[in-house]
Chains A and B, each alone.
Chain A
């Protein structure tokens, strides 16, 4: 059988093969992405926005004149009064006085003044450090007094595959109660806070044992003695930056796919392709294949180079993300009318996507919120820490459903009459649901599929609220719960508004069940990793009152679908939606307060 879609792929590739300028730009783009992200190293670097930001006044002739830092300008004053006057006038941010090696600061009380104070304290630490090194260099007998700690590091690889399974990790975290007090776990061989143990330690034995231990251990390396100041801290997000670079390459290819596809739309050249004997899916597949292939190749090379035995897992995760990006690229063109809309829809959505997958990594190794990000899973695999195949599979479910939604939407709307007439989002949604209804018969199957495909959006909103808008969530918990209730109810009823042939009771039951099941399926992974550690309101939604929740979903959807089947006016729909949102919100609040248990 001849793979007809390859003809479209060949046509797509030919556009680039003749255009050396575009080849150059693509290469330059990829190289600059790698250069920026992969060469990021840690150090005392500052951004130009902070250059000489703070003005610090001091009395001329004192030690303060020796302070220097990227962010501060030191301004000498002849008298304290003169400086005080300038401080109140906002000319300087802080005034520093010295008496007997003690620096006293005067601030104006403004935010800038307080921020300047924080910086000047850092400067003093650096100043003292230089002074100490100078004194220790001049007089070696002072070495052990001025530099009283030396650190010897023994590094070894821990076999987490047999020792630190997730349940052990989670169990350990549970030793800590809500107040943060340490509760001695039975599993640990510790003699915590036991006064009897103090004084029973023979340190000489320890040191001797350590030396022997280091010599004997084959997989350990002992780095000599280090001063605390010179103790090396690797850039915490180094791996993340590398992984971001790879995802950025996928984003670049997905943008090229968008632009290429959009060009066909603008130039109306797709009409010619529609005339060919190729099917719609073959055209879409043919156009996507070169870009997706390039993404997959880069992903494969990176997975093999950066990871040992876990390369398959890393490749799988990156490829699922690439598939999401490719399907989104096609979706963007379908919903956009022109280049401007393509540019903005892509920019905003890709930024959201990046934030969505990158931000949880801020918590990497510190907080279970990091488990939300596939990039964190990659980092964990790359570190040879324990990650099961089921974890990898489950953690990517929302991305797979998202890809499915974008692909289904694109395929439904990719018809000559719909695609070229550039209708609005409302008409496109109608085309999508009608197409789905035609294919699935408009009954139970339609209700299940149409609702399930929308659940990733609920997941995105929930997740964004869990960490990006967390401060807002804390400040306005009731508002965020109301928003969640509204989105969930909207997602459940939206497919019904496009296909009212199904009976309200049947729709309510299947849509409610389908929503409940898909949402919980997405959360299976997170329940074990994330939600059990989060305070209310997030915990209660997932781990408590599951049966009640299911019943509430079914009843509210049935009620609303019944209501709009009786009266098709927009006002009825809006009133009904407001009513079920309020009921959903009330239920959530009741659950938060411990009701229905």
Chain B
């Protein structure tokens, strides 16, 4: 067996012994189990009015209403999840509002004239609920506005038409987006990032402790040492991709192009492994190399975020975009230029790595 494969196999066995493999799986399980909650926050961030947050909630926002148009506002209030109390006097409503018993007070009558209805809303500024109150009220206002507009248009401008949609076709598939947009891209990208971290730990530990001397004394080249460490990290992370592909195949959200995902994952893992190895060889100290690598990771994770929306090229380069599309059945050919880019970058870093593999000698304290 060639030297690098022997080193890789020993690395893999050591990782299995140390339970690193199981710990990475644990990390991924945490990611999957919490992704539904994380998506709630994201949903509110991206489109608060249409988010599912509070959609089914009741008894969260307490409103006092002072109006003659009780019937008109009742349904929109209920549909917005607002618990409301009708007051016959603003003074009394104000008293309860100031006493902290009401979150908001809505005052005003609905009119069907051609002039707009003015609703006055009393709001507190200093409660943790302020965002939620405003969010819920916005839904109420939009709901009420839509209803009122329809009636007024029928009365005054029947010739005007807005586009409406047939409610017969209903779609409410929240889990689909949670899994496809969050969980799957992260699930098949995080282990690739971890591969780089594993190489840094392995190389710097040997360099710092002086144990690299044992390897240097062996009849293998310095390139083989670095390659072996990198391969070891890949051996430990690629099975994760395969395990998750198998697990997902038993669920409703199975990936439609598992081979494409496996190919993309392997390319990403190889890229990050090479980056990790370069960092380790360059800095030779675990702490410094890990700090630098963390910044690289933050930059690549930024491609998962709306920061990538700066240009279409960045969006299409985003691993999140690529992995989601592959999971939905897109062919690997459809992302050929992105994959070629990753391959070329990996090859360049690999060449640099091989040229600088001799730095493992420099690390030897003697």
Q: Which residues on A are within 8 Å of B, measured CB to CB? A: 19, 21-22, 25-26, 28-29, 32, 36, 40, 42-51, 53, 63, 70, 90, 98, 100-107, 111-118, 121-122, 124, 127-128, 131-132, 135, 141-158, 160, 163-164, 168-169, 172-173, 176, 180, 182, 184, 187-194, 197-201, 203, 206-207, 209-210, 213, 225, 228-229, 231-239, 256, 259-260, 262-263, 266-268, 337-345, 347-348, 351-352, 355, 359, 362, 364-367, 376, 379-380, 383-385, 467-469, 471
A385–B83 CB distance below 8 A? no
Complex A-B: 9 CB contacts under 8 Å? A22-B287, A36-B302, A45-B45, A118-B173, A145-B153, A153-B121, A352-B30, A365-B129, A471-B36
Q: Of B40, B93, B165, B182, which contacts A121 at CB under 8 A?
A: B165
A184 to B96, CA, bound (A): 14
Q: Please give the distance in Å from A471's CB to the nearest CB on chain B.
A: 8
Residue of A whose beta carbon sits closest to that of B190: A347
A103–B129 CB distance below 8 A? no
15 more A-B residue pairs beyond the given contacts A131-B162, A144-B152, A154-B122, with a C-beta to C-beta distance below 8 A: A29-B294, A48-B321, A49-B320, A50-B177, A124-B165, A142-B157, A144-B114, A148-B117, A149-B148, A187-B101, A197-B87, A228-B138, A231-B138, A338-B205, A342-B201
B160–A103 CB distance below 8 A? no
Q: Of B27, B108, B197, which contacts A203 at CB under 8 A?
A: B108
Contacts of B306 in A (CB 8 A): 45-48
B68–A340 CB distance below 8 A? no
In the complex, which of the residues B45, B97, B172 has the most CB atoms of chain A within 10 Å of its own CB atom?
B45
Residue of B whose beta carbon sits closest to that of A471: B36
Q: Of B57, B88, B149, which contacts A146 at CB under 8 A?
A: B149
A104–B176 CB distance below 8 A? no
Question: Given A42-B45, A145-B153, A201-B67 in contact, is the A22-B286 Cβ separation under 8 Å?
Answer: no
Contacts of A376 in B (CB 8 A): 128
**Interface status of B249 (Cβ within 8 A of chain A):** no
In the complex, which of the residues B15, B24, B120, B128 has the most CB atoms of chain A within 10 Å of its own CB atom?
B128
B141–A103 CB distance below 8 A? no
B98–A105 CB distance below 8 A? no
Q: Please give the distance in Å from B81's CB to the nearest CB on chain A.
A: 10
Of B46-54, B240-248, B263-271, B354-362, which stretch is located at the interface? B46-54
B: contact size bracket: 35 or more
**Interface status of B107 (Cβ within 8 A of chain A):** yes
A153 to B165, CA, bound (A): 32
Q: Of A122, A197, A345, A471, which contacts B23 at CB under 8 A?
A: A345
Closest 8 CB pairs of A and B: A117-B171, A164-B100, A365-B129, A228-B141, A236-B131, A48-B318, A339-B201, A25-B291
B18–A229 CB distance below 8 A? no
**Interface status of B109 (Cβ within 8 A of chain A):** yes
Q: Please give the distance in Å from A339's CB to the nearest CB on chain B.
A: 4
Question: Given A105-B165, A201-B88, A233-B135 in contact, is the A22-B124 Cβ separation under 8 Å?
Answer: no
In the complex, which of the residues A50, A173, A192 has the most CB atoms of chain B within 10 Å of its own CB atom?
A50
A468–B126 CB distance below 8 A? no
Q: Of A116, A131, A152, A182, which contacts B83 at CB under 8 A?
A: A182
Contacts of B46 in A (CB 8 A): 42-46
Contacts of A98 in B (CB 8 A): 163
**Interface status of B262 (Cβ within 8 A of chain A):** no
B41–A47 CB distance below 8 A? no
Question: Given A132-B162, A176-B59, A228-B142 in contact, is the A263-B125 Cβ separation under 8 Å?
Answer: no
A190–B128 CB distance below 8 A? no
Residue of A whose beta carbon sits closest to that of B31: A351
**Interface status of B79 (Cβ within 8 A of chain A):** no
Residue of B whose beta carbon sits closest to that of A258: B287
Q: Please give the distance in Å from A46's CB to the nearest CB on chain B.
A: 6
Q: Please give the distance in Å from A236's CB to the nearest CB on chain B.
A: 4
A189 to B137, CA, bound (A): 22
A236–B132 CB distance below 8 A? yes
Contacts of A193 in B (CB 8 A): 86
B47–A122 CB distance below 8 A? yes
